[in-house]
Amino acid sequence: MNSAIPGVPRLIANRLPILLIVVMMGICGCAHQPTIASAPATYLWQSGDQFVALVPTEQSPGSVPSDHPVSLGQDRLRGALASLEWQDSADVKPVQLLTDYELSILAEQITVGLAKAAPGEELVFALIGNHPAFMGLAKRPQVTTGRVFYSQGRVNLILGMVHEELGKNDDRRLQPFVPGSRGAPAGFAGQVTVLPEVGEKRRADWLIINPAAVIPLPKQLPSLGTVPTPAIDAVPVAGPERGTPQQPGRTDKGKRIEERLILLNDLKEKGLITEQEYRTKRQEILGDI
């Protein structure tokens, strides 16, 4: 019985299964290539599927130019990122966009990366944090991705994936983490909130942050009895230069403001004040600076 495929020579027909396997292996092999950029990335930090990397600037119509390299104050940047909130839908309470773990990694790597970046480079990242799930009754690992660059005195953060669930058997070659894009919005259903004193939104997924407007916060909130004097980062803002004698009372005022912010945050966490009351009072405190 002739088993050849009509119109296909017998030799080729007999080898079709082998050819198909080779093609599939080639496709899978291509999936191992970096999916975060068409050109090779320089990884600044990696842990499993998580990463922070320098990549060539994404080219898109009307793309905003970047001003790299730049030196940023890490504590101020961390404070700005810590103020960002995410609301998955209108019927759930807003939560922090980034966990303390994600904040510590991202603030450090952004300051390191943008100090190294050339004008034609920017940062992309994918971080996994344990975020509230099941109406806040539990926490589950969720991924957040983004693209970061500095332009016109501001840090630009373009989000891609926000608090997306992870599957046990996810294969990153087939389901890569995708950072935000200059050219097209991410289209996620939730909403990111940025305080007016911290920055603004160019798009629903594109945040423009001013770290210089933020008081440097401690990495862990201490008790009110052990509040340290806040350290001032070296950032390009108006004020006395390094080495200028400190004016009397300035340290005490900074300490009082920090104490008030910590107390206010404590009241919010305990549910003693509403989110709106927290935001209003926080803005009043920052207005005293």
Domains in the chain, number: 2
Do 67 and 123 have their domain in common? yes
101 within a domain of the structure (yes/no): yes
Sign of the dihedral through C-alpha 154, 155, 160, 164 = negative
Contact between residue 157 and residue 148 where contact means Cβ atoms under 8 Å apart? yes
Do 267 and 175 have their domain in common? no
pLDDT in tens, 57-114: 998 876 788 999 999 999 999 999 999 999 988 888 899 999 999 999 999 999 999 9
Q: Would you list the DSSP string of 78-144? A: HHHHHT-EEESSTTS--EESS-HHHHHHHHHHHHHHHHH--TTEEEEEEEEEEEEETTTTEEEEEEE
pLDDT in tens, 251-280: 566 667 777 777 777 667 666 677 777 777
pLDDT-based confidence at 169, cuts 50/70/90? confident
* Residue 10 confidence (pLDDT): 52
Do 81 and 192 have their domain in common? yes
265 within a domain of the structure (yes/no): yes
* Residue 51 confidence (pLDDT): 96
pLDDT at 49 over 70: yes
Do 51 and 194 have their domain in common? yes
Q: Which residue has the higher pLDDT, 32 or 137?
A: 137
pLDDT in tens, 221-231: 444 333 333 33
The amino acid sitting at 100 is D
* Residue 253 confidence (pLDDT): 65
Q: Which residue has the higher pLDDT, 203 or 284?
A: 203
CA 96 from centre of chain: 12
pLDDT at 199 over 90: yes
251 within a domain of the structure (yes/no): no
Give me 95's structure tokens: 């939560």
- Domain that residue 60 falls in: 42-209
